[in-house]
């Protein structure tokens, strides 16, 4: 990233696009096609288009593979309704979770109705939401390692907890400065706040009213692992324990 930033800063002239709002070329995504044309000539824009198309396909493929499994795993853990754990009898795939994973981007496409000006704020709001999720996971890992240093782990992070602190600070800085020039920060922060508020309200309601547990009381790791193994064996009819759970059995 540092090399790319230095290269684009050297190869692309930072011209003024909007003097009234003090917007320069390097402040906008248009710097990327300008850099491609500067390095590869007129053909660079076409190569960039092909690369963006492939990157978009890879992103969609990654999301379609990961999101249904996340939904399925949360349902196995009891954080989502039980019907989401249903697997296809032959292929052992979470069919309902996959259908929901497909429906989410379809609903967003219907909501946006082709308005490109509404896409960027929602993408940035979603990035903020993912950033908060990463912060919560990082905080959970740090607290777990402090409370239970005896638990086996597949990977031991060097210089703990310095990498976690640096990454968390970086995410916070990115969230604070995520609004690009020329865009009102409320266009990003309001959808982000709605996402965060709805998720927090659902989590609190489900934990207190459905699971009937104290949301602020740490869980015993052994109980969580045992419940995950039991749920997995019920769904797969006695298949072997997943590799990720074996060290904790």
Question: Is residue 91 one of the residues assigned to a domain?
Answer: no
Q: Hey, what are 99's tokens?
A: 């259908």
Average of per-residue pLDDT across 48-71: 81
Q: How far is CA 60 from the centre of its chain?
A: 13
Question: Is residue 3 one of the residues assigned to a domain?
Answer: no
- pTM: predicted TM-score of the whole model, two decimal places: 0.69
pLDDT at 138 over 80: yes
Question: Is residue 123 one of the residues assigned to a domain?
Answer: yes
Question: Is residue 63 one of the residues assigned to a domain?
Answer: no
- Cα(191)–Cα(185) distance, integer angstroms: 11
Binned at pLDDT 50, 70 and 90, residue 22 comes out as low
Average of per-residue pLDDT across 49-74: 82
Q: Hey, what are 114's tokens?
A: 């082709």
Question: Is residue 130 one of the residues assigned to a domain?
Answer: yes
Question: Is residue 140 one of the residues assigned to a domain?
Answer: yes
Question: Is residue 199 one of the residues assigned to a domain?
Answer: yes
For residues 219 and 75, which has the higher predicted lDDT (pLDDT)?
A: 75
Question: Is residue 162 one of the residues assigned to a domain?
Answer: yes
Give me the domain span that covers residue 126: 116-213
- Cα(88)–Cα(243) distance, integer angstroms: 22
pLDDT digits (tens, 9 = 90+) for 210-224: 888 888 888 787 877
pLDDT digits (tens, 9 = 90+) for 165-188: 999 999 999 898 888 777 788 888
Arithmetic mean of pLDDT over the chain: 79
| Number of domains forming the structure of the chain | 1
């Amino acid at each position: 990233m540092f090399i790319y930033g230095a290269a684009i800063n050297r190869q692309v002239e930072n011209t003024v696009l909007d003097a009234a709002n003090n917007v320069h070329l390097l402040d906008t995504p248009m710097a990327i096609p300008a850099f491609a044309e500067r390095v590869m000539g007129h053909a660079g824009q076409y190569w960039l288009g092909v690369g963006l198309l492939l990157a978009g396909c890879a992103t969609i493929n990654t999301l379609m593979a990961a999101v249904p499994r996340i939904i399925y795993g949360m349902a196995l853990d009891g954080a989502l309704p039980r019907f989401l754990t249903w697997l296809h009898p032959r292929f052992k795939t979470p069919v309902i979770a996959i259908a929901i994973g497909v429906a989410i981007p379809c609903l967003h496409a219907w909501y946006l109705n082709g308005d490109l000006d509404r896409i960027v704020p929602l993408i940035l709001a979603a990035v903020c939401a993912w950033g908060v999720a990463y912060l919560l996971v990082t905080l959970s890992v740090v607290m777990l390692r402090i409370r239970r240093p005896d638990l086996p782990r597949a990977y031991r992070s060097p210089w703990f907890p310095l990498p976690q602190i640096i990454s968390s600070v970086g995410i916070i800085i990115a969230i604070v400065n995520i609004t690009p020039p020329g865009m009102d920060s409320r266009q990003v922060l309001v959808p982000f706040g709605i996402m965060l508020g709805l998720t927090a309200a659902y989590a609190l309601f489900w934990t207190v009213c459905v699971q009937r547990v104290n949301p602020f009381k740490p869980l015993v790791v052994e109980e969580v692992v045992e419940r995950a193994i039991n749920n997995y064996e019920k769904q797969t009819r006695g298949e072997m324990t997943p590799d990720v759970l074996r060290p904790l059995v």
